[in-house]
Amino acid sequence: MYQLVSNSSFNELIAERYQVIEVLKKDGCLQSVLAEDTQDAGHRKYLIKCLIKQHLNQDILAVTKLHETKSLKSLKRQFNREAEILYKLSDCRSIPQILACFKEQQNYYLVQEFIEGTALTEEFPIGKRDTKRWTEKQCLEMLQEVLGILEIIHEHSAIHCNLNPNNLIRRASDRSLVLINFGAVQPVRSLTDRRKLSLTVPMGTFGYLPPEQLTNYPQPNSDLYSLGLIAIEALTGVHPGQLKVNGYTGEICWQEELLGPVSEDLVNILNLMVLNQYQQRYQSVIEVKQAIASLLCPEKQPLVLDATEVAPTLEIAGEGETETPSTDEHSQSVTETATQEAIGEIPSVENRIPEESLLKENTETQAENPSENLPENLPENLPENLPENIIDLSAQKTLSPGKKYGAYFFLVIFMIASIITNSLIGCLGLIQLFKILPSDLGFESFTRAQELYQSGDLTQAIALAQSVRWDSSAYQDAQTALEEWEVESEKAIAKFQVIQTAFQESRWVDVLSLAAEMPAISYWQDQIAPLVSQAALKAAPEAQEFLQQAYHKASQKNFLGAIQLLKQIPHQTPAYQTAQAKILEYEAKQQIKLETQAYQLLKQAYQRAEAKDFAGALNHLEKIPAGTPTHARVQEKIAEYQTKQQIKGNALLQKAYNHAAQKDYAAAIEVLKQIPSQTTAYQVAQGKIKEYNLKLRYRLTNRTRRQMSQLPRGQNSHFMATANSYSLNPGAYFQEVNI
């Protein structure tokens, strides 16, 4: 099912026609939106996939801009591939119909049918504990329906590559399954094309990806692998990513998760669909459909006669007489048909009547009169030498109970011996089969490469790891190792040189600490072993000195300094065990010390808060050491005080406004200076301080001019000098605030 990202409405039309209703999914520059056709009378809804290169609107289709031209080309190529395959499959009702594909404002759009319904995953059991698992019949019907869709896709030389329950929609109108999301579709490539193909990030869904798709080499039966896992999830209620995997063979272990009965035939089919090596799986959809068809429409079962349908010979206890009850016409006709079949021709293996049933029927019904119940239309020419498993009814005589049970005994012995013989032959055959199966040469090569790497032969190890083929089970491990081996080897060489230098300079503790950082390569570990042994003996006195210094720092309550010294003591020295014990002790004491500090700071913060000094309270709360229980508890209190501080700042700002309204700018400035710097009102207050200072200066200048006009001429010059000095140095009333 589509993932809802936004439910906002948008005003801008795509192609002046499609109105976006919802953004269903975002994935970088690729998006899926639900839109309705404004030119359609019924306002039909469509799914539009978009490859956005630029922002269309702040509210619609906002995506990250691509900086890599190569990535953009790859996305365009995949976008065109999806449009092409949907166009080819336009006749299939189980696949969304494509309506348009166009470019607008450097962006690409793909308009296709919107499938209304529910995802198949909503029909699955919710986890292991959900007992409402799918039945075998439901599973087979689902497999048959999806295989029909895959058959059409594969006929057009395409691979879906993202088959999972969320991409299978149960259409609401007819309850049929529809396969959606062809964004990862790949063409079927030849071996030559695959070798030329550059590796890219595999597309698909976690848990359902086959191994070969992880290396970007999907096969047509990769879809069968994913479909098999979907069926297993339906039967078990367990997501494929949570199923156990055999570490040696890579096969999936899922039968233990079953709750209800599942036939062995279906188990074998699913196991063959999800084999780790794609060469060993079903190679085509047709093979799977044929195997499933035999389960959905099994052949007619062989006729097995029930004891009640045959007239047995009954012996009356105490009278020594036998009595044959009369049989109805239906029972007699069944017996006659079976007898005629046994005498006239040898039945096939599938339709042959069990020998013991035939023996029992014919023996008991012929006990009184062997000739009465024989069919009239016997074949004229019977073979002279009848096979052992065909009974000549004309030669049957009445068997005594002892002989009858003796025959049963020998028959049972013969059957047991046959079963044992067949089992032994099967085991021997399997052993021979395992012997002739080709081994994974890539796995053997990678194992040998690891041995060479550990022995220090990096060049040969890399060459051997590079020879592992892409279809080997060890390919991914080999690629990862190639990335790590050169880096680790260079690190080991550099570390060895540093260790040698430290050893030559008699820095024994440094030798031991550096040795602990040496990469886990056997060759280099062996190289530093003699140096480490000698350094451990030499470093013992130095380690003891570190221990004494740590004791001294701990006596001064400097537990952190003591811990740092103790951590420098190498584990190869005798003082190491003592140091580890002391580290635990000092860490506990440091925690107690921090808690004490936290309590004192918290107490001081409460005192400041009671005095309405929320800025001071916050200052103390923020000093509480992290990692203490008190620090976690006071976070809510910090938020509370910050809110109260904002309220106080706004109140002071309003008070300053009131003073300014009364032309009392000096008082307003004094109030503004009290606003805390952490509040939103602080910046406003700084601007108002400048404004009010200018107004005070202007007022003083006007007052001075009025006074000058009232003085005699001789005193004007002296007063003007005084006024100018005031204007240059306005005093306490005209102080500026540094911002």
What is the secondary structure of 399-453 as a DSSP string?
PPHHHHHHHHHHHHHHHHHHHHHHHHHHHHHHHHHHHHSPP-HHHHHHHHHHHHH
Per the structure block, which two tokens stand in for 662? Answer: 């009364």
What mean pLDDT value characterizes the chain?
Answer: 75
Q: What is the pLDDT of residue 315?
A: 40
pLDDT over threshold 70, residue 501: yes
The secondary structure element, H or E, covering residue 244 is strand 244-245
Per the structure block, which two tokens stand in for 395? Answer: 């030669």
Full DSSP string of 664-707: -HHHHHHHHTTS-TTSTHHHHHHHHHHHHHHHHHHHHHHHHHHH
Q: What is the pLDDT of residue 603?
A: 84
Q: What is the pLDDT of residue 221?
A: 94
Distance between start and end Cα atoms, the chain: 57
Shortest CA distance to 182 belongs to which of 115, 124, 252?
115
Beta strand pairing status for 98-104 and 107-113? antiparallel
| Interatomic CA distance for residues 227 and 163, integer angstroms | 7
The secondary structure element, H or E, covering residue 208 is none
Task: Categorize the per-residue pLDDT at 623 as very low, low, confident or very high, splitting at 50, 70 and 90.
Answer: confident
Per the structure block, which two tokens stand in for 466? Answer: 């590079």
Q: What is the pLDDT of residue 65?
A: 42
Q: Of 281-295, 385-399, 658-672, where does mean pLDDT reach its minimum?
A: 385-399
| Interatomic CA distance for residues 670 and 682, integer angstroms | 13
Output DSSP code: residue 134. Answer: P
Which residues, in sequence order, are CB contacts of 8 under 8 Å at separation 6+?
22, 23, 59, 60
Output DSSP code: residue 520. Answer: S
Q: What is the pLDDT of residues 299-316, one digit of tens each?
A: 544 333 333 333 344 343
Q: What is the pLDDT of residues 354-409, one digit of tens each?
A: 443 333 344 444 434 433 333 444 344 433 333 333 333 333 334 444 444 455 56
446 and 477 Cβ atoms separated by less than 8 Å: yes
Q: Of 16-20, 277-281, 323-327, where does mean pLDDT reach its minimum?
A: 323-327
Neighbours of 293 (CB within 10 A): 12
Q: What is the pLDDT of residues 150-173, one digit of tens each?
A: 999 999 999 999 999 999 999 999
587 and 555 Cβ atoms separated by less than 8 Å: no
Share of the chain above pLDDT 90, in %: 24
**Domain-wise residue ranges, the chain:** 13-114, 118-296, 307-380+387-434
| Interatomic CA distance for residues 703 and 619, integer angstroms | 45
| Interatomic CA distance for residues 738 and 114, integer angstroms | 63
Shortest CA distance to 98 belongs to which of 82, 117, 118?
82
Residues facing residue 316 across a β-bridge: 321
CATH, domain 118-296, list 3.65.10.10, 2.170.190.11, 1.10.510.10, 3.30.450.90 = 1.10.510.10
Task: Categorize the per-residue pLDDT at 348 as very low, low, confident or very high, splitting at 50, 70 and 90.
Answer: very low
Question: What is the crossing angle of helices 458-466 and 441-454, to 10°?
Answer: 160
Q: What is the pLDDT of residue 193?
A: 55
pTM given for the model: 0.43
User: SS3 for 331?
Assistant: helix
| Interatomic CA distance for residues 125 and 121, integer angstroms | 8
Q: What is the pLDDT of residue 696?
A: 87
Q: What is the pLDDT of residue 73?
A: 75
Per the structure block, which two tokens stand in for 35? Answer: 């839109």
Residues 417-438 as b or e (16 or more Cβ within 10 Å = b): eeeeeeeeeeeeeeeeeeeeee
Q: What is the pLDDT of residues 423-473, one digit of tens each?
A: 665 555 544 444 434 445 788 888 889 999 999 899 999 988 988 888 788
Q: What is the pLDDT of residue 154?
A: 95
Strands (E), 148-241: 158-159, 168-171, 177-179, 186-187
378 and 345 Cβ atoms separated by less than 8 Å: no
Output DSSP code: residue 6. Answer: B
Task: Categorize the per-residue pLDDT at 533 as very low, low, confident or very high, splitting at 50, 70 and 90.
Answer: confident
597 and 585 Cβ atoms separated by less than 8 Å: no
Residue 81, burial from CB neighbour count under 10 angstroms (0-12, 13-18, 19+): middle
Shortest CA distance to 5 belongs to which of 118, 121, 28?
28
Q: What is the pLDDT of residues 567-620, one digit of tens each?
A: 888 877 778 888 888 888 888 888 888 888 888 888 888 888 888 787 787 787
Shortest CA distance to 452 belongs to which of 433, 467, 436?
467
Which residues, in sequence order, are CB contacts of 365 under 8 Å at separation 6+?
310, 311, 312, 313, 324, 335, 373
| Interatomic CA distance for residues 478 and 491, integer angstroms | 20
Shortest CA distance to 524 belongs to which of 480, 481, 483, 494?
494
Per the structure block, which two tokens stand in for 547? Answer: 């221990």
237 and 257 Cβ atoms separated by less than 8 Å: yes
Q: What is the pLDDT of residue 235?
A: 92
User: SS3 for 661?
Assistant: helix
Q: What is the pLDDT of residue 529?
A: 86
More confident residue, 200 or 611: 611
Mean pLDDT (whole number) for 223-235: 95
Mean pLDDT (whole number) for 536-544: 81
Beta strand pairing status for 158-159 and 186-187? antiparallel
* C-alpha triplet 476, 478, 479: angle, nearest 5°: 65
Output DSSP code: residue 305. Answer: -
Q: Of 230-234, 416-420, 460-464, where does mean pLDDT reach its minimum?
A: 416-420
More confident residue, 467 or 130: 467
User: Which fold would CATH assign to domain 13-114?
Assistant: Phosphorylase Kinase; domain 1 (3.30.200)
The secondary structure element, H or E, covering residue 35 is strand 30-37
Q: What is the pLDDT of residue 421?
A: 64
Per the structure block, which two tokens stand in for 591? Answer: 């925690």
Output DSSP code: residue 625. Answer: P
Computed on alpha carbons and rounded to an integer, the radius of gyration of the chain in Å comes to 45
Q: Of 83-92, 110-119, 465-474, where does mean pLDDT reach its minimum?
A: 465-474
Task: Categorize the per-residue pLDDT at 284 as very low, low, confident or very high, splitting at 50, 70 and 90.
Answer: very high
Question: What is the crossing angle of helices 475-504 and 522-555, to 10°?
Answer: 60
Share of the chain above pLDDT 70, in %: 70
User: SS3 for 82?
Assistant: helix
| Interatomic CA distance for residues 157 and 159, integer angstroms | 7
Q: What is the pLDDT of residues 465-499, one digit of tens each?
A: 988 888 788 888 899 999 899 999 999 999 999 99
| Interatomic CA distance for residues 564 and 583, integer angstroms | 9
Q: Of 108-112, 409-413, 428-432, where does mean pLDDT reach its minimum?
A: 428-432
31 and 49 Cβ atoms separated by less than 8 Å: yes
Task: Categorize the per-residue pLDDT at 175 as very low, low, confident or very high, splitting at 50, 70 and 90.
Answer: very high
Per the structure block, which two tokens stand in for 441? Answer: 């040469």
Task: Categorize the per-residue pLDDT at 680 as very low, low, confident or very high, splitting at 50, 70 and 90.
Answer: confident
Shortest CA distance to 646 belongs to which of 636, 654, 635?
654
User: SS3 for 380?
Assistant: coil
Strand 177-179: give its sheet, edge to edge.
Answer: 117-119, 168-171, 177-179
Max mean pLDDT among 234-238, 333-337, 545-549 falls in 234-238
Which residues, in sequence order, are CB contacts of 416 under 8 Å at separation 6+?
none
